Amino acid sequence: MRLTQTELDRVLVFSVAEMARKRRAAGLKLNHPEAVGLLTDEMMELARAGASHEQVRALGLSLLAVDDVMAGVPELMRGMALECLFEDGPRIIVLASPIEASEAEPPGAITLRDDPIELNVGRDPIAVSVRNGSDHVVNVSSHYPFYEVNPRLEFDRPPTYGRRLDLQAGRSVIWKAGETRMVELIPFAGLGHVEGFQLTLPPSAVTAEVSA
Contact yes or no for 86/58 (Cβ under 8 A): no
Q: For 35-75, give the DSSP string.
A: HHHHHHHHHHHHHHTT--HHHHHHHHHHS--GGGB-TTHHH
| Residue among 191, 132, 125 at smallest CA distance from 160 | 125
Question: Can you list the alpha helix ranges (DSSP code H) found in 63-185?
Answer: 73-76
- End-to-end distance of the chain based on CA atoms, in angstroms? 75
- Given a cut of 60, whether residue 205 has pLDDT beyond it is no
Burial code of 194-203, b = ≥16 C-beta within 10 A, e = fewer? Answer: beeeeeeeee
Phi, psi of 152 (to 5 degrees): -80, -10
Contact yes or no for 186/167 (Cβ under 8 A): no
**Predicted confidence (pLDDT) per residue in 34-86, tens digit:** 999 999 999 999 999 999 999 999 999 999 999 999 988 998 888 888 999 99
CATH superfamily of 5-95: Urease, gamma-like subunit (3.30.280.10)
Domain-wise residue ranges, the chain: 5-95, 126-211
Contact yes or no for 142/120 (Cβ under 8 A): no
**Predicted confidence (pLDDT) per residue in 135-180, tens digit:** 989 999 999 999 999 999 999 999 998 899 999 888 999 999 999 9
| Residue among 128, 156, 129, 162 at smallest CA distance from 143 | 162
Residues 75 and 94: their CA atoms lie apart, in Å, by 15
CATH architecture of 126-211: Ribbon (2.10)
How high is the pLDDT of residue 207? 47
pTM: 0.51
